[in-house]
Structure 1
Amino acid sequence: MTPIERLFLSIPTLPSIPRVVQELITTLGDDDADLGALVSKVKQDQTLSARVLRLANSSHYGSRHKVGAIDDAVALIGLNALRTLVIASGVSGAFASIPGIDLKLFWRHAGQSALIARSIGRKARLNAEFAYTAALMHRIGQLLINAAYPSVAKEIAAENHDLDVTELASVERTHLQLDHSEVGAELARRWYFPAAIQNALRWYGDPMHEQAGPYAGVVHLSAQITLGLEHGEDDASIAAALPDPLLQKLVLDRPDMESEIETARDAQQSAAETA
């Protein structure tokens, strides 16, 4: 039995997502998908609708008015972005509680990374919703590690305070012979996410690997920017730390990233003021 198989068998209750969310996942990347019919199903699920509207109001879509209904969200952000929000709400709602993890902080970090990734994805001429979804899920493997092995996860956390992805993965492999990137990619596979998103989760910590696709690089940049903001670093320091080879791979330049950091900081401050 492989370490991955052992981990999934050790999770007391494997997280699951609503059927309509699963159906929406299968339409990612399909420009001809009938999203209207699936949105109608979302409306019939009151719990899911409430979570989606919460996300629509907390995300930075530029509306000055509260989004009060799914149809309002469609008018404001469009069907493709709404699909992404439904998937995001389904993914986050799959984890009610995890030992040793503050889920509110976890999803705040994930959400900030996702918003930055969407914008970077557009600049890199990639599918912005793929970028958002991959960044939202980039640390989801940590949740499964904590669910399967809470005592070992506590030891891992004690050895890695700053959440640096390379160090974290190294510590995880020492203890478990796998890391959260591998676990997240496997969950994405089991949930039938597109191969590009699976690849992003697997390689975001090593985006210059020969197997890493462009979305892994976008997620790496968005996660690094988010951590810099959370650690209180100034914009220039965050931008200077972004790896040149990765920017070149994605055909991005440093001024692009400086603009992203400034926008993300303004959004972060705005969210804090209205919290």
Structure 2
Amino acid sequence: MEISALFSQVHSLPCIPKVAQDLIQQFDNPHTNVDSIARNISLDPVIAAKVLRLANSARFRGSRESASVEDTAMRLGFNTLRTLVLASAVTGAFQAPPGFDLKGFWGHSFQVASISRLLAKPRGVAVEIAFTCGMMHNIGELLIQTGVPELAERLNQNGKDMGAAQRVALETLQLGFGFPEVGAELARLWQLPELIQHAIAYQSRPTQAPADMPLPRVLAQAVSIAEALRQYQGDMNKALETLQGPLFDGLDVASLLDELPAVLEADKGFAELLG
């Protein structure tokens, strides 16, 4: 099966609001005007409401509450504002397939996003870009759920505790591709920057990514850490025992796990606020 065939089987491709599209076009523009972005956000009442709700959450609120999008833009800055808008737009673009745990799906996605941000910081990788990659790392799975529901249902039923690598392998065996390739293609159609497309595409094979692309490795590590925490129900000591091997060479996993609970606590309401 070709990826194009999968996309043709999805009756209504997910789309994102114009304000998010405008932000995407300005990812690499160093002269972006935050005030004009705030005005554009205010024109979309759904996105504006979500952005204000997120800005006033425990993760972003700070010492005072934001009363307007303009105030949020001034307080948080462009990079964080862009993250909030994209998070709101992406989660709102998908409908839950029947019987699919969409809340759990986004909960996992935002956990990977939080871990990606933490991993990116000491490497000089843009933390909000890393967060966006983590948030979107498995959006291809939602299209597989919609486009080939019979296969997806079998995988859902038979692999409730299946890790990402095994899921990708089984999808590739059946379809010729897995959710990373599908997600990367959707990111391309949405005209997201190539570094995000590549991070999503190479997450299950980061050693094959170009040497100057650290994001696939960051994403692969974040997914592995999130899966270990899920497997051991948040027990950091047991998770640490499994987070070994070449993927984690050069990474002080123990120190990272020490920092992680505070990060996850700050971000834990993210998915619920976007629901």
2:241 aligns to what? 240
1:129 aligns to what? 128
- Residue 78 of structure 1: CA displacement? 1.7
1:228 aligns to what? 228
- The whole-number CA distance in structure 2 between the counterparts of 1:24 and 1:38 is 8
- Residue 97 of structure 1: CA displacement? 2.8
- 1:218-243 alpha-carbon deviations (Å, 9 max, x no partner): 12222222233333041122233334
1:262 aligns to what? 261
Code of the aligned partner of 1:214: P
- 1:175-233 alpha-carbon deviations (Å, 9 max, x no partner): 21210000000000111111111111111122222447311111222222223333304
- The whole-number CA distance in structure 2 between the counterparts of 1:260 and 1:192 is 34
- 1:43-88 alpha-carbon deviations (Å, 9 max, x no partner): 1111111122233344623626544432342244222110111011
Matches within 5 A, 1:199-214: 199-211=198-210, 213-214=213-214
1:27 aligns to what? 26
- The whole-number CA distance in structure 2 between the counterparts of 1:87 and 1:80 is 11
Q: CA RMSD in A?
A: 2.5
Code of the aligned partner of 2:104: L
Matches within 5 A, 1:1-275: 3-58=2-57, 60-61=59-60, 63=62, 65-211=64-210, 213-231=213-231, 232-248=233-249, 252-267=251-266
Aligned length: 270
TM-score between both structures, scaled by the size of structure 1: 0.88
- 1:83-130 alpha-carbon deviations (Å, 9 max, x no partner): 111011111111133234222221121122212212221122101111
Answer whether contact 2:209 2:216 (CA < 8 A) is retained: no
- The whole-number CA distance in structure 2 between the counterparts of 1:67 and 1:109 is 27
TM-score between both structures, scaled by the size of structure 2: 0.88
DSSP 3-state at the match of 1:60: coil
DSSP 3-state at the match of 1:7: helix
- The whole-number CA distance in structure 2 between the counterparts of 1:203 and 1:196 is 10
Code of the aligned partner of 1:47: V
Question: For residues 54 and 37 of structure 1, do their structure 2 counterparts lie closer, same or farther at Cα, with a shift above 3 Å needed?
Answer: same
Which piece of structure 1 moves more, 235-244 or 11-20?
235-244
Percent identity among equivalent residues? 33
DSSP 3-state at the match of 1:208: helix
Answer whether contact 1:124 1:252 (CA < 8 A) is retained: no
Code of the aligned partner of 1:12: H
Question: For residues 62 and 118 of structure 1, do their structure 2 counterparts lie closer, same or farther at Cα, with a shift above 3 Å needed?
Answer: farther
Question: For residues 68 and 160 of structure 1, do their structure 2 counterparts lie closer, same or farther at Cα, with a shift above 3 Å needed?
Answer: farther
